[in-house]
């Protein structure tokens, strides 16, 4: 009888531990040796822009060929490949990264601009990681001018700086926050913005943790050192899926809407934007 009671007790404890494990997750984002990581990012933005001017100025703008509201559609696709080598004696893992695809297309007022070419097509980024998915750049190889090389280094470093995840286990309902600087390309200027994303753990199932994303966007250029000033704000939602076994955020899907008011070339403008972004990462 004692044996059966002991067996029952062990089974109950095992079930409890199993259920407990399924209710907690540690975001142990990692980059393992000898792997190939493929990342795809697709962004689409629809913008409706209006000029906040008097009737005489509006008539002049229309006479020059401009139409309001001006509708702008932008599409960008980015594809990268990151390969890791064997772990070294100093615990560093060599990394090579290439930008296989960087396509940008836009239509402004019904006029389609030719798609831009991948400026980093011949670039090979060589660096290392300590296994935490952050890459330190050692060198950038390829035929390109120094300004383009600097731009690529800044872009990669900016992404690395924003890879921040909690170090403690999370249970259902727990959250963490990331802040991502952004630039919004608008004809005549680049608007600097900040995207604040709150991730709330919704579910742990089938070795995957699903997070709901709550997004807030803020732009403030009122103190900019030029005439192009503005402000704006927005909000959105999304979902991020973390693969526990592979130790990577394997997919995210977000949608954000925001309103901008800004001054460009002496004209006061306003814009309503709707942006959708899909990201996926796989290991080969």
Enter the tokens of residue 45: 């933005």
Select from 124, 119, 43 the least CA-distant residue to 82: 124
Is 170 or 266 the better-scoring residue by pLDDT? 170
Q: What is the 8-class DSSP label of residue 92?
A: -
Phi and psi of 179, rounded to 5°? -115, 125
Distances (CA, A) of 61 to 56, 95, 131: 9, 52, 55
For 159, residues 6+ apart whose C-beta sits below 8 A from its C-beta are none
- pTM equals 0.83
- pLDDT tens-digit map of 205-250: 999 999 999 999 987 665 455 555 678 899 999 999 999 999 999 9
Q: What is the 8-class DSSP label of residue 90?
A: T
43/219 Cα distance (integer angstroms): 19
Q: Is 273 exposed, middle or buried (0-12, 13-18, 19+ CB in 10 A)?
A: buried
Enter the tokens of residue 264: 């460009």
- pLDDT tens-digit map of 125-183: 999 999 888 889 999 999 888 888 888 888 888 777 777 899 999 999 999 999 887 76
Q: Is 176 exposed, middle or buried (0-12, 13-18, 19+ CB in 10 A)?
A: middle
Enter the tokens of residue 64: 């020059």
What's the mean per-residue pLDDT of the chain?
Answer: 85
Q: Is 143:124 a contact under the CB 8 Å cutoff?
A: no
2/257 Cα distance (integer angstroms): 64
Residue 26 parent element (H or E): none
Enter the tokens of residue 248: 């990577």
Enter the tokens of residue 272: 């309503």
Strand partners, 168: none
Predicted local confidence at residue 188, as pLDDT:
53
Is residue 17 very low, low, confident or very high in pLDDT (cuts 50, 70, 90)? very low
Q: 142 in the Ramachandran plot: left (φ > 0), alpha (ψ -120 to 50) or beta?
A: left
Strand partners, 277: 43, 254
């Amino acid at each position: 009888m004692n044996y059966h009671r002991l067996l029952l007790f062990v089974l109950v404890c095992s079930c409890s531990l199993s259920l407990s494990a399924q209710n907690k997750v540690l975001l142990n984002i990692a980059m393992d040796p000898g792997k190939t990581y493929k990342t795809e990012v697709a962004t689409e933005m629809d913008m409706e822009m209006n000029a906040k001017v008097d009737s005489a100025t509006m008539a002049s703008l229309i006479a020059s060929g401009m139409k309001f509201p001006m509708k702008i559609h932008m599409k960008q696709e980015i594809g990268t490949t990151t390969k890791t080598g064997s772990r070294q004696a100093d615990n560093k893992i060599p990394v090579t990264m290439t930008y296989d695809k960087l396509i940008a297309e836009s239509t402004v007022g019904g006029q389609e601009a030719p798609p831009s070419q991948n400026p980093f097509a011949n670039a090979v980024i060589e660096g290392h990681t300590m296994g935490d998915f952050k890459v330190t750049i050692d060198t950038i190889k390829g035929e390109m001018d120094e300004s383009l090389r600097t731009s690529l280094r800044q872009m990669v470093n900016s992404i690395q700086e924003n890879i921040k995840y909690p170090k403690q286990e999370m249970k259902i309902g727990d959250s963490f926050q990331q802040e991502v600087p952004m630039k919004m390309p608008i004809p005549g200027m680049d608007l600097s913005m900040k995207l604040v994303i709150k991730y709330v753990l919704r579910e742990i199932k089938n070795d995957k943790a699903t997070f709901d994303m709550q997004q807030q966007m803020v732009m403030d250029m009122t103190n900019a050192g030029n005439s192009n000033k503005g402000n704006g704000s927005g909000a959105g939602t999304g979902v991020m899926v973390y693969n526990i076994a592979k130790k990577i955020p394997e997919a995210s899907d977000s949608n954000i809407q925001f309103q901008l008011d800004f001054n460009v070339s002496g004209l006061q403008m306003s814009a309503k934007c709707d942006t959708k972004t899909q990201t996926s990462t796989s290991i080969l």
